[in-house]
Structure 1
Amino acid sequence: MTSSTPNPLYPHGGPGPIRRFLPRSLLGRSVLIIVTPLILLQVISTWIFYDRHYDTITKRLAQGLAGDVAAVVTLTNRSEDNDDLVRIFSLAKSTMQLELSLSIGAELLVPDVVVSRGVVDARLHSALQERLRVPFVVDTRSLDERVEILVQLNQGVLRVLVTDERLFSSTTYIFIFWTIGSSILLFGVAVIFMRNQVKPIRRLAHAAESFGKGREVVEFKPEGATEVRQAAVAFINMRNRLNRQVQQRTEMLAGVSHDLRTPLTRMKLQLEMLKDTPEVDNLQSDVVEMEHMVEGYLAFARGEGKETPVPTNLCDLLRDVVSQMTRDGGVIDLHLEQDIALPLRREAMRRCLTNLIGNAQRYGQQVAVRAGHRRNLIEITVEDDGPGIPPERHEDVFKPFFRLEQSRNPATGGVGLGLTIARDVARSHGGDLILEAAPGGGLRARIWLPA
């Protein structure tokens, strides 16, 4: 079975290149619609905060620290002895949180090119340039949790150590953490609410799928948003109309076929009482053909019946049908991949398989039956090596009472309802029946059913 099976979700092929990366479920797409603006808002807000608030706060902190350093430098230059330096350093530590030390006679090596490593370095360096008229070097990375500032004085090099808390604002990180936390919280709330909104749609889809497979839909009621309730009510009305239509057609066909039997029986009795003449023989032949047609009508009506689907082992059903079809000595090549269990209208499916295998035996010498899983579907094929059917007539033969007089022998054929009944049974289970050219030149009938 090399033929590809249709995908009901993408009948015209897979999703486009862009849609491949998008969620396929309604829940995923709804959450994406909600979350995408939220993320964009958070990103824009964070960028504005960083660009305005963080930059302003950093600039003011850097200016405050630079002012303290400039004051300390001025006082140090005015000191007359070590006692003055000790008092200045002690005052700076207690009031400005500055740890000072002076290397007497040292020379500061200032790099020719100042490399700024970030906003903090740039702001501090700019603020010190405004307040100091002497060479200096800033190092914000070498020491943990501390910033080192070296200033060239007349006495030597002044070393200033200050905690990085004077340059960094914790509100920035609090804002970012709050933004991320609130986004996660809102995302969780959105997912919970959207799941509750999607549940009625999933129930509606499940009910429609079950109805399409011919299964009874029980305990289904409209619920959810107004639009979803409207869709559910429309589905229920559609289901009731289809059931009434099928029931009326079934009763009509059964009634007409039953009523035709009475005059046919009277005609047979009257013909039996007449003499054997060519005209009587022709009339008897016509009556037999009409009886055959009535039986076909009844079989078609039974195919529209209210048989309830029950869990069925398809492999056992196929073995049973093949066993019955080979009682007269015929040979059928049966190949089953594995046990396949699914809800089926057992007698209707038996009639469908019997019609297909009977046609294959009637027009071919070799018949092969295969069944197995194909992706998310179950596929059954019946092949023969007979004359086949022209491709342009594959759909015509499914029409009721249609017969191919040239490619099929009318003397051995039925009334043109066998394939019609078979396709109706397959479609009533949510699947379909199609015809293809077999590799050996005959005909292949392929049934696919939802797993």
Structure 2
Amino acid sequence: MSDAPGRVGSAARSVRLAIKSVLPKRLFGRALMIIVIPLILLQVVSAWIFYDRHWDTVTWRLSVSVTGDIANVIEQLRRDPDAREEIFRAVRRNQELDLALYPGEILPNQQNELSGLLETLLAAAMEERVRRPFVIDSQSRDEQVIIHVQLKDAVLTTAVPRSRLFSSTTYIFILWMVGTSLVLFAVASIFMRNQVRPIRRLARAVESFGKGREPEEDFKPEGALEIRQAAGAFNLMSERIRRQVRQRTDMLSGVSHDLRTPLTRMKLQIAMLGETPETRELSANVSEMEKMIQDYLTFARGEGGEKSVECDLGQIVADLGSKWQAGGIALDCHVEGKIVTWLKPNALRRCIDNLIANASRYGTQVWVHAGRRGQAIEVLVDDNGPGIPEEEREDAFRPFYRLDRSRNPSTGGTGLGLSISRDVARTHGGDIFLEDSPHGGLRARVRLPI
């Protein structure tokens, strides 16, 4: 028989994991970071160029203009010392400079330490245009910069408005830079949200398909060309898988009917022969053959036709525990409250039932535990039997595989119990793992995503 259901579950799980690797939970934030980081770098480069070139040049020219006015005042005072008041009034009115002359004053020989770009450029302009000892004070007043210049027999003090030394284009540039960045960020956010939305829908559709659930609505390709291509490929893949499962299920249903018909005739013929040791042996062989055929068909079919519904997994586990306890099996069952999720109830019941049957066949005590573990559900089935060597645990899931050392071939069944259980778990998007049990035997861990 084919193991197509297991391959289908594995393929769906691989596609789901591939989509998740492309679409982490924080994809939208990371996509925005891809836009934000270059935007920030662009603003940093623009600001650097502005301050290093434009602002530096403009500040230098403003400084040269102010120092040129001071040099002009000094020249006028040298030519006509008696017109000092008239010169000061004209300069105050036209150049917005407040001038004061202090005869007999002498500046200190030590120049104060320059701080900032403004004082540095202003000092350079003073050395170039005025060429006299000077002191710059940009700290004592908020609205003005004070410049003291040593003349021949006096000190000329000039109060320069800061507006003459600063360019308003600096603030305009910053406002435009921040404003356009916010607009670009908003547009990029809307664009990325529209692009990420179809990828998230594709991820949800793949995840639902990998868990064996029917989509709530038809998934339609939308978004960018690459996303539409990926969505179209997913739709084609899912339809092929569903069609393959339906065809295989229909074919196996026919095979099941064809095989059961001759077996039924054989049972009737044996019954007509009467009760003899030979007929009892033949009847037992026919019953065994019927059970084997049923196991084979169940394995090949993989419960592919059952729909996923929202139900309580804890109740399923509790019902199975009660059934096995009523059958005389020493079983300890514990369920951590209600565990409501989407699953195929009959298929999952068969999965856990096979694991309990396997544990009870080789152990004298069975423990079953079910509960939530983060974003997954786990069902643990433990026994105190001989267990399975670690190197053979993966082989135990192979169809018709028989363990010679730890399992008795005459009582080990058809070798399909673990294979059927793993196929069911993988159909739900999960898996089964074999581990050492704390009770000394084997632990089967069924892990299903929520």
* Fold conserved between structures, TM > 0.5: yes
Structure 1 residue 393: deviation in Å? 2.1
Structure 2: how far apart are the matches of 1:245 and 1:80? Answer: 109
Structure 2: how far apart are the matches of 1:9 and 1:250? Answer: 23
Structure 2: how far apart are the matches of 1:10 and 1:223? Answer: 19
Q: Which residue matches 1:316?
A: 315
Q: Which residue matches 1:337?
A: 336
Amino acid of the residue matched to residue 418 of structure 1?
G
Q: Which residue matches 2:373?
A: 374
Q: Which residue matches 2:398?
A: 399
Q: Is the 8 A contact 2:366 2:382 kept in 1?
A: yes
Q: Which residue matches 1:233?
A: 232
Q: Which residue matches 2:186?
A: 188
Q: Is the 8 A contact 1:213 1:428 kept in 2?
A: yes
Matched, 1:446 2:434: no
Q: Secondary structure at the match of 2:107?
A: coil
Structure 1 residue 58: deviation in Å? 1.1
- Tell which has more relative contact order, 1 or 2 (C-alpha 8 A, sep 6+): 2
Q: Which residue matches 1:44?
A: 45
Q: Which residue matches 1:3?
A: none
Which has the higher mean CA deviation after the structures are superposed, 66-75 or 150-159? 150-159
Q: Is the 8 A contact 2:376 2:447 kept in 1?
A: yes
Q: Is the 8 A contact 1:110 1:136 kept in 2?
A: no
Q: Secondary structure at the match of 1:326?
A: helix
Q: Which residue matches 1:204?
A: 202
Structure 2: how far apart are the matches of 1:10 and 1:200? Answer: 15
Structure 1: how far apart are the matches of 2:134 and 2:240? Answer: 91
Q: Which residue matches 1:20?
A: none
Gaps of 5+ in 2: 1-12
Structure 1 residue 411: deviation in Å? 3.9
- Give TM-score, length-normalised by structure 2: 0.89
- The structure 2 residue matched to 1:162, chosen from 148, 160, 163, is 160
Structure 2: how far apart are the matches of 1:334 and 1:271? Answer: 42
Q: Is the 8 A contact 1:312 1:343 kept in 2?
A: yes
Matched, 1:172 2:173: no
Structure 1 residue 413: deviation in Å? 3.3
Structure 2: how far apart are the matches of 1:447 and 1:242? Answer: 24
Structure 1 residue 211: deviation in Å? 0.5
Q: Which residue matches 1:290?
A: 289
Q: Secondary structure at the match of 1:70?
A: helix
Q: Which residue matches 1:59?
A: 60
Tell me the percent identity. 55
Instruction: Tell me how large the CA RMSD over aligned residues is.
Output: 2.6
Structure 1: how far apart are the matches of 2:155 and 2:298? Answer: 110
- Give TM-score, length-normalised by structure 1: 0.89
Structure 1: how far apart are the matches of 2:146 and 2:181? Answer: 38
Q: Is the 8 A contact 1:110 1:137 kept in 2?
A: no
Structure 2: how far apart are the matches of 1:333 and 1:273? Answer: 45
Matched, 1:143 2:141: yes
Q: Is the 8 A contact 1:321 1:354 kept in 2?
A: yes
Structure 1 residue 56: deviation in Å? 1.3
Q: 1:400 to 1:253 in 2, by over 3 A?
A: farther
Structure 1 residue 272: deviation in Å? 4.0
Structure 1: how far apart are the matches of 2:212 and 2:115? Answer: 71
Figure out how many residues of one structure are paired with residues of the other and give that number. 433
Q: Is the 8 A contact 1:292 1:415 kept in 2?
A: no
Structure 1 residue 168: deviation in Å? 0.8
Listed as ranges, the matches of 1:395-434 within 5 Å are 395-434=394-433
Gaps of 5+ in 1: 1-6, 16-22
Amino acid of the residue matched to residue 145 of structure 2?
V
Structure 2: how far apart are the matches of 1:363 and 1:60? Answer: 95
Which has the higher mean CA deviation after the structures are superposed, 373-382 or 188-197? 373-382
Q: Secondary structure at the match of 1:195?
A: helix
Q: Is the 8 A contact 2:16 2:206 kept in 1?
A: no
Q: Secondary structure at the match of 2:145?
A: strand
Structure 1 residue 187: deviation in Å? 1.3
Q: Is the 8 A contact 1:333 1:369 kept in 2?
A: yes
Structure 2: how far apart are the matches of 1:205 and 1:445? Answer: 30
